[in-house]
Structure 1
Amino acid sequence: MTRDSGSVKSPGPDEVLGPEGMEKFCEDIGVEPENIIMLVIAWKLEAPNMGFFTKEEWLKGMTLLQCDCIERLQGKLDYLHNHLNDTIIFKNIYRYAFDFARDKDQRSLDMDTAKSMLALLLGRTWPLFPVFNQFLEQSKYKVMNKDQWFNVLEFSRTVSTDLSNYDEDGAWPVLLDEFVEWQKARLAAL
């Protein structure tokens, strides 16, 4: 995509839009690379790797979005952002983010990546996120597996901020049991 012609250009002759091209793409559409909308675009394009779009993904995704120029894509940004407000679509984007962000030779997300993605996805909407992030900072966990990842979203949606409805006998991963214990101990100490 170039600003000069205004058209949505597919990746170049190497068939892949990489990190430098992604930066230029973000600049062209007026969005910071760390903006959650970039994750939504990647989800729409069904891109399996963070920081890269193949020509096939690009063409398929831009056709699906009916975008053939910068202005059309910019006009779709609000539409794409509204996906985050739909609980079912958001859940799909959240689940997609796990595989999108992990190293392909790993089954889990390294904790720094997990924390960054959780901040992007839940940081603005989950009141307990800052406390959960603080827990992760001091925890023994070095990675987050897919089950833990999926359950963090469910926990964020169903457990009240005072943790009063947390079922200790529920099927939560140990990570979340430990978070609840940690948070209750912190609150008791206040």
Structure 2
Amino acid sequence: MLICVSCLCLRCDCTEKLQGKFDYLRAQLNDNTAFKNIYRYAFDFARDKVQRSLDLDTAKTMLALLLGRTWPLFSVFYQYLEQSKYRVMNKDQWYNVLEFSRTVNADLSNYDEDGAWPVLLDEFVEWYKHRPSL
């Protein structure tokens, strides 16, 4: 249903017309507001509808698709999630990962320890600062 509705919105009734929209769709991913809407939609799209959160494996996969190429800390954050105690990611955590990726420098120099970040991100920063150098 999603693809049919999307194709209707894009006015695509065949594969060739859809391929012709790829540049437009890529531009949507580069628009901050549109990307934020796509990112937020992805949480509800990917979660099991009877659950209020994403299982961690699904969250990691979706984060890789959405932030893997653009967030300099993504691979380190992924490593953190791999070894963390977390088994799910709730909507607040999901939304804040995007905000964190957009506002906190890759060296964490502007990270505010007193900010209103979810504990997941506070613990990531702590883990990052104390992990062994590679």
TM-score, normalised to structure 1's length?
Answer: 0.68
- Percent identity of equivalent pairs: 75
1:126 to 71, 93, 96: 71
1:73 to 10, 18, 21: 18
Aligned positions of 1:149-160 closer than 5 A: 149-160=94-105
User: 1: CA distance between counterparts of 2:29 and 2:17?
Assistant: 20
Q: Residue 36 of structure 2 is aligned with which of 85, 91, 96? A: 91
Q: Which runs of 5+ in 2 are unaligned?
A: none
Q: C-alpha offsets along residues 43-86 of structure 1, whole Å, 9 cap, x if unaligned?
A: xxxx3xxxxx5xxxx1x432221112221111011211221100
Show the counterpart of 1:168.
113
Aligned length: 133
Cα RMSD of the aligned pairs, angstroms, is 1.2
Amino acid at match of 2:18: L
Matching residue of 2:126: 181
Name the structure 1 match of 2:53. Answer: 108
TM-score if structure 2 supplies the norm length? 0.95
- Equivalents in 2 of 1:141, 1:61: separation in Å? 34
Structure (1 or 2) with the larger CA radius of gyration: 1
Structure 2 counterpart of 1:64, from 3, 6, 9: 9
SS of 2:21's equivalent?
A: helix
The match for 1:145 is 90
Amino acid paired to 1:128: L
Who is 1:44 aligned against?
A: none
Query: Match of 2:88, as an amino acid?
Result: V
